[in-house]
Amino acid sequence: MEICLVRHGETDWNKEGRLQGHTDIPLNQVGIQQANCCAEFLKQLPYELVLTSPLLRAKQTAEVIAKQLNVPLIEMRELIERHYGDAEGLTKEERTIKFPEGNYTNQESRERLTTRVFQALSLIHEQKKAKKIIVVAHGAVINAILAALTNNAIGSGRTILKNACISYLQFNHEKWIVGEYNQVNHLKA
């Protein structure tokens, strides 16, 4: 089984450096263009299914991809972005002032996020209906996967994932293996 992880396209809050979390923000014009670039690139391979977070920015990205690839689209609640509690909507500067220690009140723990995301991977793997799947999700979700699978060599706290970047996972010999990650060569300047 192969999974292509796609981070959603840009939103106005991404552009402004605001933490989105569960706040449901749509793609901006750049984000829509990025989704189209992803779809154009991914058409070259025989993907069978697109799975997405239910949040609008991921869903819009996934809809563009699924439509151009002419494959089914399914929402998975387990792929929703990490909840950042009282820090959602704040810029980096505002977060630094309000939470100088970096501990956001009411935030979903990293452990809980990782557990939730790996439950999603298990469900995806167990379904066995599709072998080549695209998963459209969020920065923290994808980084949690990358960190857990590489013993924190990349991912959470180490990798800043770009909007509409592509990363690859393969299930081989009873374990998930990370291939290329944070790829943006498919995006037009």
Confidence grade of residue 189 (pLDDT, cut at 50, 70, 90): low
Task: Give the model's pLDDT for residue 69.
Answer: 98
Distance of CA 163 to the CA centre of its chain: 9
Q: How many H helices and E strands in the chain? A: 6, 6
Report pLDDT digits (tens) over 104-151: 999 999 999 999 999 999 999 998 778 999 999 999 999 999 999 999
Supply 78's token pair: 């387990």
Distance CA 164, CA 187 (A): 8
CA distance 34 to 38: 6
Backbone angles phi, psi at 165, to 5 degrees: -75, 160
Q: Can you give the pLDDT at residue 188?
A: 77
Residue of 184, 126, 176 lying closest to 147 (CA atoms): 176
pLDDT per position as a tens digit, 5-14: 999 999 999 9
Catalytic residues: 8, 81
Span 31-88, pLDDT tens digits:
999 999 999 999 999 999 999 999 999 999 999 999 999 999 999 999 999 999 999 9
- Domain 2-178, CATH number (from 1.10.1510.10, 3.40.50.1240, 3.40.1190.10, 3.40.190.10): 3.40.50.1240
Q: What angle do CA 30, 31, 34 make, to 5 degrees?
A: 90
